[in-house]
Structure 1
Amino acid sequence: MFKKTHTIKTLLSKEEIIAILQNKVENFHRDNSKFDFEGSVNLNGEINIKPTFDFGPRNQFRPEITGKIHGNQIDLVFDLSSIMKKVLWFIILVEPLFIVFIYTKIQEKQVLLFFPFLIGFLLILKFIFDSKVKKSITVLESYFK
């Protein structure tokens, strides 16, 4: 649900792609930085970055981008951070137990409305994640036009 793949094709060589990405990626995000990404791009063409252009209160949903450069092609995988995956799994596993517990105590059917709330919550999070992935793809593709 929170994993996307994307391939960028360009006419540039592997070395040119690596040079461009290394100029656009800083090791660690600093205040007032003009870099769009933080992380690393090594000389073997392995990519491990996170976007910083929308760094803010909701940065926990910024994708972790891993990838590999093959010739003139960049294969990317956009994934949610491991901490956020754990938080989401915790919510998904605990909420049904909470709902069942509350339902057995008060036995009102309105408590069951938490299930649609959970689904709506996950859909909103997916929309936020997908929009950040799309924005990251747009920025990355702009480097190679």
Structure 2
Amino acid sequence: MFKKLYSIKTTRSKEEIIAIFQSKVESFHRDNSEFNFEGSINLNGDFCIKPTFDFGPREQFRPEIKVKIHGSTIDLEFTISTFLKRLFLLLIVMELVFVIFIYSKFEDFKVLLFFPFLLIFFLILKLTFDNKVKKSIHLLESYFK
């Protein structure tokens, strides 16, 4: 649900692509930074970066971008952080336990209406994730035109 694969094809060599990434990605995000991504770039063409273009207290739901460079092709894998994956799993388990507990006490089918709220919550998160992935793809593609 929170994973997307994308490839960018370019006419540049692997060394040129790595050099562009090194000039566009900072190692650690700083306030008032002009860089749009943070992460560490290595010379073998296999690294992980995160967008910082909307970095702020309410904008922590940002994708991790695993980058693999094969010749002149850049393979991107967008995922959410491991912490958020665990948090979502915990929310789902807590929701199920809560609904089962309430249903066993009151035996009312209205309790099952909690599930649509959970679905709406995850839909909002999915739309947010997709929006940030789209912005990241647009920025990354602009670097390699």
Normalised by the size of structure 1, how large is the TM-score?
0.96
Contact 1:60/1:84 (8 A) holds in 2: no
The 3-state SS of whatever aligns with 2:97 is helix
Aligned to 2:131: 131
Give the AA of the match of 1:127: L
Normalised by the size of structure 2, how large is the TM-score?
0.96
Identity %: 65
Q: Structure 1: which 5+ runs fail to align? A: none
What are the Cα deviations for residues 25-58 of structure 1, in whole angstroms up to 9, with x where unaligned?
Answer: 0110000000000001211111210000011233
RMSD across aligned positions (CA): 1.0
Q: Structure 2: which 5+ runs fail to align? A: none
Aligned to 1:142: 142
CA distance in 2: counterparts of 1:58 and 1:29, whole angstroms: 16
Summarize the alignment of residues 60-79 of structure 1 with structure 2, pairs less than 5 Å apart: 60-79=60-79
Summarize the alignment of residues 1-145 of structure 1 with structure 2, pairs less than 5 Å apart: 1-145=1-145
Count of aligned pairs between the two proteins: 145
CA distance in 1: counterparts of 2:115 and 2:13, whole angstroms: 50
